[in-house]
């Protein structure tokens, strides 16, 4: 029995190492939606593991991240406020959805409708709308940002870019 | 600052302040003893130092024992604060209410382990005739005092920065809801359970073989995997709800305060698992009885967790 114990120990140790290595090497499933967020609070985004539902990009930076929560608790993630607006436009729960944006100035999650938006930020999809908590001259509100986004009046439009950035 | 109107917070901070004052007095005493101590000298000064050392050790012993008792009280305090903070359903939301909460909790657990080691060294020192570990235990106390100072600062920073107006996250948001995989090492629940029971078996085997180094490594891994297993699997059986994943809710009355038993059995089991290696490092001595305690407490932890699963299956005929 005494001779068997070290052998058994080594076998079990190998088991632990193999399980950990196999698990770590497995490809992580990407998250595009999370269900059950009945509190409708912003969920933490694990960078590199969450897809933007609109542009399909993997969210690797949460500086401009947004979340939309449907009345049934389903939550979708976006890397750019512009993506959120485009995705929401034809949804039936459009007016009942809870929207969160991460602010560039205070790094907090705040209600998208209460945020102010700069128009010339470097956002992942280059729409340019970066959320702010504290108002400064030149910032626009949510409704103005939404309309500009739907009309295509953002930095991806060369005419608007020329007007706002000069090139 | 409204949080200071809570009785539990006041009691906790008052107790912490008194204990810190005592530990500071002990620190000053320990420092002067370490400077002048010469066990071979037969002088009046050395005789007085020995008397003083006895007093200082008693103060340290008293303080550290109370520090152990204060950890569950801290858990109880943050659990009670969930009633005052919007969005919090249990201690999970309260502890993540600001940036100081989680580091504070981690530091408290580290201090708990250090205190345990100090108490063992003190016990061994007092059992021996010639106080062989006298200096090392005082040096080690100076290290613990440094941690206690950081902890006291974090205590103040944490409680004074809890807002009763800002919304915090609920445990189901923090610890993952359906669809997300937040288990460590990218493990599935099945593999998490396999590794949990394998690690438990390893702690038993290594304790029998008295292999302190491997037991140290395996115990630390068992600590982390045990925590993950309780949050992602065993906890759902305690709550009888597959979507409820939280290490704090089980501390509440609704679950018969079973969280205190679950976590304390894990902490104690892991502590005894790592202690022999640390004792070897510090005083080049190991205590064979500690291996037995590792087996006992880890077994209590595993039986306690597993029994919830089996009792649920026996009652309902299905797994969650």
Quick one: pLDDT at residue B173?
67
pLDDT in tens, B266-320: 999 999 999 999 999 999 988 899 999 999 999 999 999 999 999 999 999 888 8
| Distance of residue B207 Cα from the nearest chain A Cα, in angstroms | 11
pLDDT in tens, B202-222: 999 999 999 999 999 999 999
- Does A27 contact B at CB distance below 8 Å? no
| Distance of residue A74 Cα from the nearest chain B Cα, in angstroms | 10
Q: CB A24 to CB B87 under 8 A?
A: no
A57 vs A49: CA distance, rounded Å: 10
- DSSP code string of B105-147: HHHHHHHHHHHHHHHHHHHHHHHSSS-TTHHHHHHHHHHHHHH
Q: CB B202 to CB A26 under 8 A?
A: no
| Distance of residue A78 Cα from the nearest chain B Cα, in angstroms | 16
Measured between beta carbons, which residues in chain A are less than 8 angstroms from residue B224?
Answer: none
Asked if residues A85 and A53 have their Cβ atoms less than 8 Å apart, the reply is no
User: Which of these, B273, B295, B259, lies nearest to B116 by C-alpha position?
Assistant: B273
- Does A147 contact B at CB distance below 8 Å? no
| Distance of residue A59 Cα from the nearest chain B Cα, in angstroms | 15
Cα distances (angstroms) measured from residue B212 to each of B20, B98, B137 = 33, 38, 21
Tokens 């382990």 locate to B113
Measured between beta carbons, which residues in chain B are less than 8 angstroms from residue A31?
Answer: 179-180
Partners of A101 in the β-ladder:
A66, A110
Quick one: pLDDT at residue A165?
87
Half-sphere exposure of B305 (CA within 13 A, CB side): 26
Measured between beta carbons, which residues in chain B are less than 8 angstroms from residue A6?
Answer: 209
Write a three-state SS string for A81-149.
HHHHHHHHCCCCCCCCCEEEEECCCCCCEEEHHHCEEECCCCCCCCCCCEEECCCCCCCECHHHHHHHH
The mean of the pLDDT values for chain B is 89
pLDDT in tens, A97-151: 999 999 999 889 999 999 999 999 999 889 999 999 999 988 999 999 999 999 9
- Residues of B in CB contact (< 8 Å) with A are 87, 167, 169-170, 172-174, 177-182, 185-188, 191, 194-195, 198-199, 201-202, 205-206, 208-209, 211, 214, 218, 221, 243
Measured between beta carbons, which residues in chain A are less than 8 angstroms from residue B173?
Answer: 37, 39, 41, 43-44
Selecting from A8, A28, A43 the residue whose C-beta is nearest the C-beta of B205 gives A8
- Does A12 contact B at CB distance below 8 Å? yes
- Does A20 contact B at CB distance below 8 Å? yes
Measured between beta carbons, which residues in chain A are less than 8 angstroms from residue B208?
Answer: 5
Report the residue count for chain B: 320
Selecting from A6, A19, A43 the residue whose C-beta is nearest the C-beta of B191 gives A19
pLDDT in tens, B87-132: 788 888 888 888 898 999 999 999 999 999 999 999 999 888 888 8
Quick one: pLDDT at residue B35?
85
Chain B interface, best mutation among A10, A43, A74, A75, by max B CB count within 10 A: A43
């Amino acid at each position: 029995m005494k001779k068997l114990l070290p052998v058994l120990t080594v076998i079990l140790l190998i088991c632990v190492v193999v399980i950990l290595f196999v698990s770590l090497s497995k490809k992580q499933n990407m998250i595009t939606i999370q269900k059950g967020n009945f509190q409708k609070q912003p969920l933490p985004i694990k960078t590199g593991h969450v897809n933007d539902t609109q542009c399909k990009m993997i969210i690797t930076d949460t500086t401009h991240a947004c979340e939309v929560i449907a009345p049934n608790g389903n939550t979708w993630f976006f890397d750019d406020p512009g993506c959120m607006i485009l995705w929401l436009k034809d949804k039936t729960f459009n007016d009942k959805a809870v929207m969160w944006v991460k602010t560039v100035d205070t790094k907090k999650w705040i209600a998208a409708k209460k945020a102010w938006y700069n128009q010339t930020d470097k956002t992942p999809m280059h729409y340019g709308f970066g959320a702010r908590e504290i108002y400064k001259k030149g910032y626009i509100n949510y409704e103005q940002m939404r309309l500009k986004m739907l009309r295509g009046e953002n930095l991806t439009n060369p005419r608007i870019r020329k007007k706002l950035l000069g090139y | 600052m409204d949080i200071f109107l809570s009785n539990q917070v006041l009691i906790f901070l008052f107790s912490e302040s008194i204990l810190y004052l005592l530990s500071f007095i002990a620190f000053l005493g320990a420092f002067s003893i370490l400077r002048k101590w010469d066990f071979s000298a037969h002088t009046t000064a050395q005789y007085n130092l020995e008397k003083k050392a006895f007093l200082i050790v008693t103060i340290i012993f008293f303080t550290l024992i109370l520090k152990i008792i204060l950890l569950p009280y801290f858990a109880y305090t943050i659990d009670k604060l969930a009633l005052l903070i919007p969005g919090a359903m249990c201690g999970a939301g309260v502890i993540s209410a600001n940036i100081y909460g989680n580091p504070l909790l981690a530091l408290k657990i580290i201090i708990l382990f250090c205190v345990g080691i100090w108490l063992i060294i003190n016990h061994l020192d007092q059992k021996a005739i010639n106080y062989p570990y006298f200096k090392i235990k005082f040096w080690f106390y100076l290290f613990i005092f440094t941690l206690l100072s950081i902890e006291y600062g974090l205590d103040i920073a944490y409680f004074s920065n809890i807002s009763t107006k800002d919304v915090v996250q609920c445990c189901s948001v923090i610890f993952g809801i359906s669809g997300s995989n937040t288990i460590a090492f990218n493990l599935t629940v099945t593999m998490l359970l396999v590794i949990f029971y394998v690690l438990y078996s390893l702690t038993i085997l290594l304790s029998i073989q008295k292999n302190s180094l491997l037991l140290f490594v395996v115990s630390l891994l068992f600590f982390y995997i045990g925590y993950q297993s309780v949050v992602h699997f065993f906890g759902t059986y305690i709550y009888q709800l597959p979507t409820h994943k939280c290490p704090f809710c089980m501390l509440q009355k609704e679950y018969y305060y079973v969280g205190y038993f679950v976590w304390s059995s894990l902490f104690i089991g892991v502590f005894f698992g790592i202690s022999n290696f640390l004792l070897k490092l510090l005083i080049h001595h190991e205590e064979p009885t500690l291996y037995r305690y590792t087996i006992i407490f880890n077994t209590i932890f595993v039986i306690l967790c597993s029994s919830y699963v089996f009792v649920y299956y026996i009652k309902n005929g299905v797994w969650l």
